[in-house]
Amino acid sequence: MGLCALLHGAYMVAMFDFTPDPDAPKADLYATLNEAADALTRDEPDGVANMANVAALMGEFISDTNWVGFYRMVDGGLVLGPFVGRPACIRIPVGVGVCGAAAKGETQLVKDVHAFPGHIACDARSQSELVVPIKRDGEVVAVIDLDSPSIGRFDDEDRAGIEALATLLSDRI
């Protein structure tokens, strides 16, 4: 993995070259993902750009997923943000579905979405889901949503890795 910066006229352009190791322990995989996310977002003030790049990173690093991305808190409800996957539900009220539950402030690790009351099936392939709130000054400002076509895809190591990512992004989105 390497990050190099090229000077194009007046603009610094970051080119990111990485090859996630599919056999790496999850803790190492998330450490590398979060280093990459840090490098890509630390000097960029635009939150949409940062969410877009981190969604792309999650899509590259996190295997067996069919949707990875963000919902942002806008006027008291969740609104679709940058993602990798099929087109998805645009607005989700707080308290509705897995994302709406996470928007109340607690990570939701759902082994089987069909057993989750009120689960919103944006993509019929999704079988399990991990949603982590991003907080700023104690308030939820967005959630990170990961969907997998496999039952039980996410565990406590995924939770820890994505919670660390959420902490990193707190003031960068």
Q: Which of residues 32 and 126 has its CB atom nearest to ligand SME in the complex?
A: 126
Check: CB of residue 119 under 8 Å from CB of residue 110: yes
Which stretches does DSSP call E strand in the chain? 2-8, 11-17, 67-74, 77-85, 91-93, 108-110, 128-136, 139-148
Residue (32 or 55) nearer to ligand SME, CB: 55
172 scored as a contact of ligand SME (CB under 6 A): no
Among 92, 142, 162, 165, binds ligand SME (CB under 6 A): 92
**Of the candidates 31, 28, 54, 26, the residue with the CA atom closest to the CA atom of residue 42:** 54
**Span from 13-21, 23-31, 119-127, 157-165 in contact with ligand SME (CB under 6 A):** 119-127
Distance CA 130, CA 109 (A): 5
Which residue number, 72 or 119, has a Cβ lying nearer to ligand SME? 119
Q: Give the 3-state secondary structure of residue 80.
A: strand
Q: Which is nearer to ligand SME, 25 or 95 (CB)?
A: 95
- Region 121-150 residues binding ligand SME, contact defined as CB under 6 A: 122, 126, 129, 145, 147
- Mapped to the 3 state alphabet, what secondary structure does 81-111 carry? EEEEECCCCCEEECCCHHHHHHCCCCCEEEC
88 makes contact with ligand SME (CB under 6 A) = yes
Contact call for residues 71 and 62 (beta carbons, < 8 A) = no
String of contacts with ligand SME for each residue 8-47, x by CB under 6 A: ----------------------------------------
- Biggest alpha carbon distance in the chain? 54
Residues that bind ligand SME (CB under 6 A): 67, 88-89, 92, 97-100, 119-120, 122, 126, 129, 145, 147
